[in-house]
Structure formats: structure tokens, C-alpha cells
A and B are shown apart, each in its own frame.
Chain A
């Protein structure tokens, strides 16, 4: 569905179900240059399971209008605003991937009723290499290729996707290619510039789960240790043989990991 927020169109994927008042919600935040479609399986699952689901396209991404936000903090303010607009403020489970994980983290510090926070493919700080930033700034295809190649484990590049017939790697490439000029760079730059991660993490009291890919080269698992320790109440779930794009690389393992976090089974 589309709503107006701050005078711009915002697209929210509800997982195919209408909202019902009083339900817990699951709010999904995608990564740089991506959009709500990276959450389709998970969104449909949680919507059918009785949650109000909002997979939100960040400004300038997917089907949302406006210019891309320049910082993680701006994106987080946008997410909080949309959550309030949708009246999803009771028992919110926040789920973010990559850049979206930082947005979810930052948003979690501002929202009152966070039940859980899931950060997928994450680390703090989330430095982005100059070659990738430069290529993204030029809207060059090599930026897509770098994310595609560094973002998927070798096994996932070979394939064996449980979603029959679909290439997880090519799907990610097409989504990134469909982003408007400047969107990917703005998002990657926001990741690179974000400095508040550990301070934000220290304030989060709800259960937190970090879902990390064993072979993630974009946010390597070994770099997430400080973030993990900074949270008062966090656990890590490692997905074997998986890179950075766990939702499409290992949808079943990601499903089970997220259930543990949202259902309080960590």
C-alpha cells in the first residue's frame, strides 16, 4: 500500500494481509539500493502468522518517492514517522538488513515499544570501500557487480536456491540496477558516515539478534563482535555457507533465525 508521509509517497508491503488493531507488528527495513521485495517471503510468513507487517521502501528506494536520505539518522526518523503514521506502535519487532540494520538500530532508540530487534548482515562501523563508493557515485554498473560478487557466498553464486528457478544473485543485481541514479551512493555513504552505532546499541534493552552469514564479505561476521557485546541483551545466529544476502541466499535458515528472535526463543 501507499501512504503519504512528509508530503511524499511511501510504499509499504504488508505481506498480503490487512492490518488488524492490537496485533504485534514486524517492520522490515531493506539495505542500500534494495527495496521491500527482499522481504517478500518473510513478510508473507509473518503477516499470515497474525502480525501487522510493514516492509517499508526507504525514501527514493523501490516504490517510495522523494530523494534518498543522506544519513542513517534521517532514515531512522523516516521509519519512526511511518510506524507512527501506521499506528504500529504497540509491540514492534524491528528487522533490518545491512544499511537497514543500522536504520533499525537507530530507530529502536527512539521508539517506545520495541519488542525485539533483528539485525541481519550487520556490523558497526559499516565502512564502505572507496572503490564501491566511487562506482556508486558514478552510477556505474561495477557498483552493482561489486555488491553482487562480494554480497553472495561462492555457494550462492553457484545457486541451489530453494525458491525454484530463481537466481538469488541475478535477482539482487536487477533490484540494484532498478534503483534511480544516486540512490545507491546516498545509502552507501550514509552507512560509511554513521558513527552512532555503539552508543545506540548500548541503549537498547529489548532482546536483540544478530543474524550473520558465515562467508559474508561485506559485513564480515568477525567484525560484529564489538557490536554484539555492546548490546545489553544480544545473541548471534550464524547462517552457514551464506554471504551477506541471507534472505535470498538462505531463506529457510533466515526464516528459522528470525523466528527465534521474534518469538523470544534466543
Chain B
């Protein structure tokens, strides 16, 4: 019995074959806004979805399509739609599923930008969210309303590293007739394929580990093709004729790829947050080495976690592989190849120690990103999660002294040395400030 093409092969090849015209082995960068029709009939057929092909790069582009097909292959989905950013991917997924008056049940342990979208922006458009403890299935269950359209969470939350019990939460979602949409940005598909555990839609910020080199912003939405939109009865935008596209009924006409097709035909067309071909080209370069890089990211992260966990200046480290982490068993089950390389720790000495620590780091770069080949550091309470009030911060598990690290691919000794110097300086600062006060 032959087997499906392996992950690492797909990582390098999925969606692209040597260019038939030029023989180019690398994916060509089709930096073109639009594509010439063969004749009037061809043009009409493309607009009518009677033939396959590209029309305009807001809706599809050959370079972007390679990345889309690659992400679909790596996640095991039926299709993918790339977007201008990870946030655009979350927006596209939600807007394809929800309407004015819809309700979302979401984990309260989310990236700050996602929290902003759900808590502040979407309510302006009549979409409300109830935030729940991701570890408490009863809270997910209790939050369901008649107008609930989707569950949303992160596989491993940013920055607290809470691990979602995908099987349990997806089962509750499915019983309610709604899909589970998961942000798997911190856990690329070489670590976990959420569809294998019950998720229905996966979103990624490709900017992070998948691109991996901090050179391009992008996102994608991947459709498992397994959610039964018609049976749910909640998704008439997919299961009934859509006047905005020649009366197209996406479920009847595209079956398992209904969601992905609708997201493109409506969401990219009308919202327009499409990925640029140039960024797709850069992201594809990163994608080619994803599993090799992730193995090193994880290896380095484990070394740094061990170092921090035993350091006197560190109050706690939130990493699901540590013995005292509440999600240790779940992480070991869902993420046997490693949890992630983004995590946070609590520094002793409060805000001043934190400031000194970040200032004294030489190798770690202080910036607002994660998943780069280079190691990064940030103070969430004053940056990525700064729009959250104290109560929301507490709910999201973020204290004012929390520091988030994204561990890169550098020499492990250099990472530890850099942290060691900065930790020492931070404690001196804390003592100094303490003496003055």
C-alpha cells in the first residue's frame, strides 16, 4: 500500500512543480496584478467559475496559490486562503461564518490583537463574544447561545502557553452545531495538525514560525473540509443561494470546500485583505525549512526554559513541558514533538527589574514579533496586550512582570549567557530601587 507524501516533502514541494514554461525550479514570483484572458469566452468563464484560473491578484495569484495549497497540504485541509496578515486571517474566518447579531465563544487566553478584535471591534458590527476559561469545558458549554456561530481559541495560547483540549472543546462545539476555529500560529503543523483532533478551521499568522525569518507579514485560513455546514442549519450564507455571486450555493456546488471557496469569493473579493505575491514568495522560502527550524527552535527553547526555571531571579516559567505546568499531560499528548518556542516567565523584582532585564539583553531583540529565526523578547503588559485593562490581563494570565521570549536558532550558550547577564543586572536594579525606597 502506497502512502501519502510525507510532511517534509510537502513542505518543499506542495503546490508547486517546475515551471512548465521556463523550467524554473523555485516558485516564480508572479508580481502581477492581473492575468490576460485568452478570449472573451475565457474571461466570461473565469468570472462565472466555469473554468479554473487567475483573474486579479486580490482574489488569487499563482505565487500566493502555491503557498495556499502548501498550507492546505501541511495541515491536511481541503483548501486554504492566504491573507495580508494573521489578523486578516482571523477576520476572514469570522466574517465568513458570522453575521450581525452573531455570537462567538472564545478562549480568554488569546493574543492581544485577537482580543481587541473580539472584545472591542466586532461588537461595533453586532458580533459579540463571550470569553471563557479555555481549560474549563463547562464554561464553553454554558456560554453557548442560540446565535452562537463559532468557537475560537489558540492551540497554545500567546503568551501564557495554556494548551487547549481540542478534542473536548471541538466536541462541545459540534454538539452545538458550530465549528471550532483555532489559531495555531505558535504550533505550526510539524508540531500538531489540529484537524486530526477535531478542529474545523485553522488560522495562522504566517509571519511567525512558518515564514520564520521576520521579513514578511502574512496569514492564512485553512479549511478542514469536514464540517457539515448544511446539517448545522446555522450557515445559510454557505448553504443557500448567494445573490452576490450569481445565486451560488457554496455547499451544493463545492461540497467539502464550501467554506474555503466562500472565504475567497466573498471575503477576499469584498474585504480585500489579500496576501501580496512578494510576501508569499518570502514566506514560501521559510516554509521550505519549517520542520528543521522548529526542531532547533524547540531544542533551544528547552535549554532556555531549564536555565530560567532554576534561576534565582525567576519567579516562574510558563512552559507546558515543565513538571508543574497544569497542561503538561495534555501538551505531551497533543504536541509530542515539542510544544512551542514562545513562552513567558515571571521575573522577580517587578516592573523596574523587567525594564532593566530587557535593556541589558544584547542578543535578544526587543520587538513585537515572535517565531523569528532570531531570539526576541517583549513585555506584553506594556506592548502587545497594552489595550487590555487590569482585569482582562489577569483573566488572560498576564501579570505586569511577565516577560515573553521567542527562542530563535542561535547557539544555545550565547542565549543562556545573554539571559544570565540581563537577569543579574535586573536583580541589581531591583535591590538598588528597593534600597532607595
Contacts and interface: CB of A to CB of B under 8 A. Distances in A.
Interface of A: 13, 15-16, 35, 37, 40-42, 44-48, 63, 131, 142, 145-146, 148-150, 155, 157-167, 170-171, 174-175, 177-178, 251-252, 255
B253 interface: yes
Given A158-B15, A165-B79, A251 B51 contact: yes
Nearest to B258: A37
A37 B230 CA distance: 15
Given A146-B1, A159-B73, A160-B15, A167 B52 contact: no
Contacts of A165: 60, 65, 68-69, 72, 79-82, 260, 264
Q: Which 6 A-B pairs have the closest CB atoms?
A: A45-B50, A174-B256, A165-B68, A164-B60, A162-B52, A37-B255
B69 A159 contact: yes
B246 interface: yes
A13 B53 contact: no
A174 B69 contact: no
A44 B225 contact: no
Given A45-B51, A159-B69, A251-B52, A16 B79 contact: no
B130 interface: no
Contact of B54 (A16, A164, A167): A164
27 contacts: A41-B49, A41-B52, A45-B45, A46-B50, A47-B50, A48-B48, A146-B1, A158-B10, A158-B13, A158-B14, A158-B15, A159-B16, A159-B73, A161-B65, A162-B53, A163-B52, A164-B59, A164-B264, A165-B72, A165-B260, A166-B257, A167-B77, A170-B225, A171-B78, A174-B78, A252-B51, A255-B51
Given A167-B69, A174-B78, A160 B17 contact: yes
A160 B248 contact: no
Given A145-B4, A158-B14, A35 B255 contact: yes
Contact of A252 (B53, B246, B256, B264): B53
A97 to B, nearest CB: 15
Contact of B79 (A146, A171, A251): A171
Interface in B35-78: 44-45, 48-54, 59-61, 64-66, 68-70, 72-73, 76-78
A137 B61 CA distance: 42
A35 B254 CA distance: 10
B82 to A, nearest CB: 7
B48 A252 contact: no
Nearest to B27: A160
Interface residues of B, number: 52
B336 interface: no
B225 A158 contact: no
B5 interface: yes
B17 A158 contact: yes
B51 to A, nearest CB: 6
B4 A44 contact: no
Nearest to A165: B68
B68 A175 contact: no
B312 interface: no
A75 B40 CA distance: 39
B50 A161 contact: no
Interface string B224-237: 01100000000000
A145 B70 CA distance: 20
Interface in B15-43: 15-17
A88 B59 CA distance: 37
Contacts of A161: 15, 52, 65, 69
Contacts of B257: 166, 171, 174
Nearest to B65: A164
Interface string B260-293: 1100100000000000000000000000000000
A41 B77 contact: no
B15 A40 contact: no
Given A42-B50, A178-B256, 20 more contacts: A13-B252, A37-B254, A40-B49, A41-B49, A41-B52, A44-B50, A48-B50, A131-B1, A145-B1, A158-B15, A160-B15, A160-B17, A164-B68, A164-B264, A166-B72, A167-B73, A170-B72, A170-B79, A174-B226, A175-B256
